[in-house]
Amino acid sequence: MRFSAVLAGLGSFGMSNQLPTPRLRSTSHPQQGRAQLSISIPEESLNSSSGSGDLYMQIAGPSDFPWTAFGMGSSMSDATIFVIYPTGDGSSVTLSPRRSSGHFQPSYNEDVQVRLVTEGPGIAGGIITANFKCYNCVRYLSSIDGNADWI
C-alpha cells in the first residue's frame, strides 16, 4: 500500500472541535480476503511545531484471519506495527502496538500509547475492525517517504 493512497482516505473519520474523539463518518468493508487501513490526522497534529500529534486509525480485515496488521516505516527494521486480532472468546478485538527489529516476530511496544475509540464487538459480518487513537504518533510518519510502501 502506498502512503499517498492512504492519505487519499484521510476523510474516513469526521473531526469536530467540540468532541473529545472523532466520530466515524463513513466506512467501507475490505474486499474479501483483504485488509484495509484508514487514517485521520487532526489539523492540530499537522500544525504541531513539535512534530508530534495524535492519529486516528481504523484497521479492518476478514475475521477468519488469525490477525491483521499494518506498519509505519520504510522497512521492517524499526517499524511501528499495529496488530489486531479477536479476543480468546471471539467477542471483541485486541489491539497490540509492536516494534519490529527486522524480519523477526515484532515485540510489544509499551512506548506506543493507543486507545480503542469505539464500543461494541468489533467483529461483525465476517469483518474484524479496530478504530483507535494513537497518541503522539505523527512522529512515526516522519520516517515514511511519501512514496514508500506501508508494511
- Residue spans of the domains in the chain: they are 3-27+39-141
Q: Is the four-CA dihedral 31, 23, 67, 4 of positive or negative sign?
A: positive
Q: Give domain 3-27+39-141's CATH superfamily.
A: Cellobiose dehydrogenase, cytochrome domain (2.60.40.1210)
- Using one digit for the tens of pLDDT, what is the confidence trace for 22-53? 444 444 555 667 888 888 888 777 766 666 78
Task: Please check whether residue 140 is in contact with residue 80, taking contact to mean a CB–CB distance below 8 angstroms.
Answer: yes
- Using one digit for the tens of pLDDT, what is the confidence trace for 63-115? 989 999 998 887 788 888 999 999 988 888 999 999 988 788 899 999 899 99
Task: Please check whether residue 131 is in contact with residue 58, taking contact to mean a CB–CB distance below 8 angstroms.
Answer: yes
What is the reported pTM? 0.73
